[in-house]
Structure 1
Amino acid sequence: MSSSSTPHKYDQDGLPILSGLESASLTWVILRMPFLLLWTALASKLKKTSRPLNRLLFETSSRHILGNTTIEQLQKISGTSIKAYRAWAKQANKEPVIETLDDGTRVFWVGAKDADYVLIYCHGGGFVGPLCDFQCKFIEGLCAEFGKQSNGPILSCAILDYSVLPTAYPAQMTQLHSFLSALLPRVPPNRVFLAGESAGANILTQLFSATLHPLDSLPAPLDLSVPLAGTLLISPWCALNPTGKSMQENATKDLLPPVALNAWGTAYRRGVPAAEQAYADVDAAPPGWYTPALAGLTARVLVTVGDAETLRDDIARLTDVLRTVHPAVAVDVQPGGVHADMVFDVAAKSKELSPVTVRVATWLVESAGIVPT
């Protein structure tokens, strides 16, 4: 659902203060949840679906909440990124490592800051939601799998705590540029990976666009001695108002409903100047926007997508565009996979690592120039 038309005040944590009516409607959404989950559980037994019950319940609850709350309601119940990171650290028995730059840009570390390789991760959330603890756990598992396959070299992750709405474009890109610029003097580009999930992937393509098409209003173009080791795009949301047929075909299969995607995309686009729409929305980019110079920014690209995603067709179009200008673009299509499936597999408390996560770790190891074990 869309953002409320009434301007909101925000509390000391940066969360919106809801009106009485907003709080009441949110309560009604939450009260309906147990009945939906009960129906889902009963229906799964009748239909004898092969999808695990924990996934069905998680996807039903996600689809219900995302499709029936306003931006401000969703933000209110989601909390803050720093609380999610601290919750993960406590559960994982890790000491929180928070790095704050002079300009206020902040990252949360998963793993040692002096690891052999560093992955900068931009979480998903539609430019609306914060980091979640399960995303930290997903990253923890991915880094552990990298170490297992690399037989020695270690990968750590810096999670970018980027600003969400109502903070507008290009703040998110500027924060990524700021941290990357601070990291590169101490870590060579060919030991740095970029990873973006959903809206986080949009931030990565914004950064590349700002280098391919510099503007005075945007961060300076990246000046790399060698390309970055690789870029991982997890269910990239780069068409802010998607138009692919999969938006209708998978509307009841995916956990990310079209109504939410369009509401978030419309809200984010409002903050993008007309002359800069192409930087934030691939559908606004003219032919030839991405050029072979992209290969000078990142050595390899991996796109992951599920064939049950609402974004499936729009992601396929983006992948085709990237493949026309970059010689090393790979795609992993997960049969039956929903939006950011391997990430939400962790959220649904699946006991084993997703096969997609294992394949992504293999790609990271190979991109590092290591033969996987």
Structure 2
Amino acid sequence: MATFKRVDVPELTLQEKADIPFLKVGLLVRLLYTALTGVFRSKLYPKNFRHHLLTTLYRTSPFSARQHQHINLSAPEVYELCMKNRGLEPEGLSLPHNADGYWIGNKNAKKVLVYYHGGGFAMAPLPSHMNFFIDLIQVLNDHGNDIAVFFLRYTLTPHAKYPTQLRQAVEALRYILNETGRSPADVVLGGDSAGGNLAMSTLLHLSHPHPEIEPLILETPLAGAFGFAPWVNFNTRDWPSMTENKYRDVCTAGGLDVWSGMYLDGREGDNWSEPSRAPAEWWADAKTEHILLLVGSNEILFSPIEAFAKKVKAVFPATTFLVGEDETHDAHLYVDAGVKEGTQTGNELRRWVAARL
């Protein structure tokens, strides 16, 4: 069984620790300034005032990845806290290569959604990750489904680098298929942001194995695979949305450069680290019945995700691509987390999973 103790927490230097209170004060001052001047913001910023405040808060966060990991809860702590707050019993297990799997819902459910969280490969999942899926499977199961989520805890950067996280992602799927005996037809694979990268890379691995990772052979296709705002390309210079949405989104090009640099750690990108690099023909034989790709119109990642969706759909017609109007990156987890009516992309994911499983 997995234990719910802190993981991937660096020991900060004295300077890094001393900087934290000042960085918090600076962020608060910036947020107050944004609130005061936000009434006069231009069309370059979000239309919704609350979104404007929250995107600024996330976008201008001054903390390093190491400081984030030190001051925030790690994945097992977030999972245990969210489950207990909802009156649910947390249950996890250890996976190969120093990873864990956490169950949301009945681990004996017939059908399973294997999920990889985002956070630039450098940050633990948010409580909104867990709460979103607790709510999702409750709604689906209340309507006659029998679904559980298997949530992967992979090793964050800089504690591990590529392809460790992809290897852990493949092992999570291998466990569900080989160790629990579920048919691929009863399994959906997915993730958001960096986790969407892992979901698409894992799907690619099924038909075109990574040379450093043990192949996983499927006799039948998965029920589906989805990428929620998947970070499929690390180039931050040549995409229009990187400029057009730079003041509308929660992410920054500079932040993406730092995160991808830690993930690759000097290694050249390839077809698995950046799935959009893979030739179009590699997607023609994807081992899944359906693919879903979701993105917000206000994301800096909009252009690369749109290009990726067009490439995949051209050779794999059973691909759905949905754009959430005026939505930022992973809006259901950040600026619109917990909103009762949900988001366009979040609601589409729920409908799509219900149709697949």
Report the TM-score, using the length of structure 2 for normalisation.
0.89
Could you tell me whether the CA contact under 8 Å between 1:169 and 1:271 is conserved in 2? no
Q: Partner letter of residue 96 of structure 1? A: P
**Is it true that 1:159 corresponds to 2:138 in the alignment?**
no
Identify unmatched segments of 5+ residues in structure 2.
none
Match of 2:115 among 105, 121, 125: 121
Aligned equivalents of 1:160 and 1:23: distance in 2?
A: 29
Contact preservation (8 Å) 2:8, 2:69: no
Q: 1:178 aligns with which of 166, 171, 177?
A: 171
Q: Which one-letter code corresponds to 2:87 in the other structure?
A: N
**Mapped partners of 1:114, 1:244: distance in 2:** 44
Find the residue that maps to 2:332 and give its secondary structure.
helix
Q: Specify the code of the residue in structure 2 equivalent to 1:114.
A: N
Q: 1:291 to 1:14 in 2, by over 3 A?
A: closer
C-alpha displacement of 1:81: 0.5
Give 1:46 deviation, angstroms: 5.5
CA deviations over 1:153-179 (Å, ceiling 9, x no partner): 122101100111120111112112212
Contact 1:190/1:228 (8 A) holds in 2: yes
- Could you tell me which residue of structure 1 aligns to residue 303 of structure 2? 313
Encode CA deviations 1:188-220: one digit per residue, 9 max, x unaligned.
111101111000011122223333333542221
> In the aligned structure 2, how far is the partner of 1:122 from the partner of 1:235?
12
Q: Measure, in 1, the Cα distance between the counterparts of 2:331 and 2:253.
A: 17
State the aligned residue count.
346
Maintained 8 Å contact 2:188/2:225: yes
Which of 341, 349, 352 is equivalent to 1:360?
349
Secondary structure of residue in 2 paired with 1:277: coil
The secondary structure found in structure 2 opposite 1:341 is coil
Specify whether residues 58 and 196 from structure 1 end up closer, same or farther in structure 2 by C-alpha distance, changes over 3 A only: same
Q: Name the aligned partner's letter for residue 177 of structure 1.
A: V
Distance in 2 (CA, whole Å) between partners of 1:12 and 1:141 is 25
Alignment of 1:180-259 (within 5 A): 180-185=173-178, 186-220=181-215, 222-242=216-236, 243-259=238-254
Residue 161 to residue 322, structure 1, CA distance change in 2 (3 Å): same
Deviates more, 1:332-341 or 1:29-38: 29-38
User: RMSD of the alignment, in Å?
Assistant: 2.4
1:62-107 per-position Cα deviation (integer Å, ceiling 9, x unaligned)? 1121xx2322222222331011111111211111111223654311
Residue identity opposite 2:327 in structure 1: G
Other structure's SS at 2:131 match:
helix
Note the C-alpha offset of 1:47.
6.0
Q: Deviations over 1:100-157 (max 9, x none)?
A: 2365431111100111321011000101001221110011122223235xx3112210
Report % sequence identity: 26
Residue 272 of structure 2: which of 267, 271, 279 is its match?
A: 279
Alpha-carbon distance, 1:344 to partner: 2.0
* Separation in 2, partners of 1:175, 1:13: 15
With over 3 angstroms needed to count, the CA separation of the structure-2 counterparts of 1:101 and 1:284, relative to structure 1, is: closer
Q: Secondary structure at the match of 1:184?
A: helix
Which segments of 5 or more consecutive residues in structure 1 lack a partner in the other structure?
1-10, 369-373
Preserved CA contact (<8 Å) 1:290 1:321? no
Q: TM-score, normalised on structure 1? A: 0.85
CA contact (8 A) 1:202 1:236 kept: yes
**Is the 1:146–1:155 contact (alpha carbons within 8 Å) kept by the matching residues of 2?**
yes
